[in-house]
Amino acid sequence: MPNAAFLGIGHYLPEKVVSNDDLAQLMDTSDEWIQQRTGIKTRHYVDFENNPMGASDLATLAAKNALDNAQITTDEIDLIIYATLSPDRFFPGDAVFVQSKLGIPAGVPALDIRNQCSGFIYGLNIANAFIQSGQYQKILLIGSEVHSTGLDFSNKGRDVAVIFGDGAAAAVLGPSDDPERGVVHVNMHADGRHADELHCPYPSSAEMPRATPQAIEEGRHFPLMNGKNVFKHAVSKMPESVKEALNATGLTSEDIKLLIPHQANLRIAEMVQRRLKLRDDQVFNNIQKYGNTTAASIPLALSEAVQEGRLEKGDLLCLTAFGAGFTWGAALIRW
């Protein structure tokens, strides 16, 4: 049974860079508060006045870069898996838009998954299982988000608005011809008892009618977060799932060449690093530049780490995520 290996990776970021000082023009916040609490200095937003784009547009550009990196053409892709919490439309899912925008042949299946910050880990597990089963050979796995159109930039939403950024990244996965290379282990978890701790309540199929001007006026379409509780669970669940992965494979923290934690908040990533007793050179963070891009955050960091030459053939890469749901998980990959 061949495991899935990364054949290529790429990312795309919209050009508009928004600083903490820019946000301080819109709400009562400061560069000092944001950096101290989250480590974030800037994030990228789609420039809606000059170049409007949805998550599927960002995803398409990221996927093109991943395909170029893998030196694979669109007609070789036999499955698309797409993770986002900010799809272009309520339905259909975004994967079909990427399929038509990229020119991936009709008939190729396009699967959307809804696992927020853990989307890439969930997607990797699904892709690996399909590749192991032999059902699909070349899978495009995408994480993409446009948060900037769904944030409350008033004081009421400032705890959430300062955290998120727009961006996309994609990987091409295929069966490894080298038994030493590819996905070694993936675990994924969820605990729906905490679904209300971080969520976007509106629009909702549980309401009649589904959308009203009054609900929009009340701001019910903005995300809500219990930051302290999210923080508390993130710093315990991510190390727990990494330890589960290491125990399952007989490996240790010392074997990890690079850990890429979901870029939720630099303070969370630093605490995960401490709990796993990892050195600074074993961890890659880029939240300082991009904020939290949820489903895109892990592949975006991986794409940059690869560009910076942080991984060589045979290195042990560890990914871990935690997000809304709550959902979490970890993966070990032999690069």
In terms of CB distance, is 2 or 227 closer to ligand ACO?
Answer: 227
Among 15, 76, 4, 88, residue whose Cα is nearest residue 45: 15
Can you tell me the distance from the alpha carbon of 82 to that of 312, in angstroms, rounded to the nearest whole number? Answer: 27
Interacting residue ranges for ligand ACO, rule: CB under 6 A: 29, 33, 37-38, 117, 158-159, 162-163, 198, 225, 227-228, 230-231, 234, 262, 264-265, 268, 292, 322-323
Q: How far is the CB of 313 from ligand ACO (least distance, A)?
A: 31
Q: How far is the CB of 222 from ligand ACO (least distance, A)?
A: 14
Q: How far is the CB of 254 from ligand ACO (least distance, A)?
A: 26
In terms of CB distance, is 228 or 313 closer to ligand ACO?
Answer: 228
Give yes or no: 185 in active site: no
In terms of CB distance, is 23 or 104 closer to ligand ACO?
Answer: 23
Give yes or no: 292 in active site: yes
Rg of the chain taking only CA atoms, in angstroms:
19
Q: Is the peptide bond before 326 cis (omega within 30 degrees of 0)?
A: yes
Give yes or no: 318 in active site: no
Give residue number: closest CB to ligand ACO: 227
Catalytic residue among 185, 262, 265, 285: 262
Q: How far is the CB of 23 from ligand ACO (least distance, A)?
A: 8
Dihedral angle over CA of 262, 125, 317, 303, nearest 10: -60
Catalytic residue among 65, 117, 128, 285: 117
Q: Tokens representing 246?
A: 């290491």
In terms of CB distance, is 10 or 323 closer to ligand ACO?
Answer: 323
Longest CA–CA separation in the chain, Å: 58
Place of tokens 């909702």: 204
Write the Ramachandran bin of 167: left for phi over 0, alpha for psi from -120 to 50, otherwise beta.
Answer: left
Q: For residue 45, what is the enclosing H or E element? A: strand 42-45
Give catalytic residues, as residue numbers: 117, 262, 292
